[in-house]
Amino acid sequence: MTKLSVNINKIATLRNSRGGNTPNVVQFAKDVQRFGAQGVTVHPRPDERHIKYQDTRDLKSVVYTEFNVEGNPIKSFMDLVLEVKPTQVTLVPDAVDAITSNAGWDTIKHRQFLTEVISEFKSNGIRTSIFVDPVLEMIEGAKTTGTDRIELYTESFAHHYGLGNKDAVMPFTEAAELSNEIGLGVNAGHDLSLDNIKFFKDHIPGLLEVSIGHALVSESLYLGIENVIQMYLHKLK
């Protein structure tokens, strides 16, 4: 079964919009695990507009499933990850002012940099993953960095699937097949939802984990968080 990691950034966004501590991101992380999620994901950004660095520290003691911390490996982010030592760090090349992640790494151009960063994390016992587009050359480049996994950036699939183009999954299938062949684990995330997750999962061989936040939280406004998590788990079996 593919694991479900719930990205709780949007809960922090809602909290920050009013100040105070409602909703409580730590309690929310406890709840999603209690409801069956097999992981919790956060993506702290330098401006702390949603998840704050301190949130990441606070979550360490309550995430007993898999703790996945995403971000661009600038010094402050690397220091945070080395302090918290999550289960997994996912390296994302997002700009400081990016609304959300919008591209994968060029693993060939940035190979030396990624290799050094990954070596530092792995020497501290942290599993590593690189956010990549479904481009075979980028998958091959990721392998040379020493990373444990890649995370397929799935926005293009979600967009075209929503328009009725099911063939949009083909580059992702090919990327996963290559990853399996060369010994890279496969994660995926971005714009996956209850509408497309089963189709995507069924066409991605060896899919280990999906990280879902915006859609899952939005769906929960209508259906309830516990119910939505159970729906995802059912579709991921």
Q: String of b and e for 65-79 (b: at least 16 CB within 10 Å)?
A: bbbbbbbbbeeebbe
Task: Say if residues 122 and 149 touch (Cβ distance below 8 Å).
Answer: no
Helix (H, G, I), strand (E, B) or coil at 163: coil
> Which tokens in the block code for residue 110?
């940035």
3 state SS of 69: strand
Is 133 in contact with 104 (CB distance < 8 Å)? Answer: yes
Q: Could you please report the per-residue DSSP string of 175-235?
A: HHHHHHHHT-EEEEESS--TTTHHHHHHTSTTEEEEEE-HHHHHHHHHH-HHHHHHHHHHH
The active-site residue, picked from 70, 151, 209, 219, is: 70
Which residue has tokens 């911390």? Answer: 69
How far apart are the C-alpha atoms of 84 and 102, rounded to whole Å? 26
Catalytic status, residue 190: yes
The single residue of 50, 190, 209, 219 carrying the catalytic annotation is 190
The Cα 172–Cα 10 span in angstroms is 26
Inter-CA distances, 236 with 29, 161, 175, 190, Å: 20, 18, 19, 16
The answer to whether 209 is a known catalytic residue is: no
Residues in the chain: 237
- Respond yes or no: is residue 70 known to be catalytic: yes
What are the φ/ψ torsions at residue 153 (nearest 5 degrees)? -80, 110
Q: Which residues are catalytic?
A: 43, 70, 190
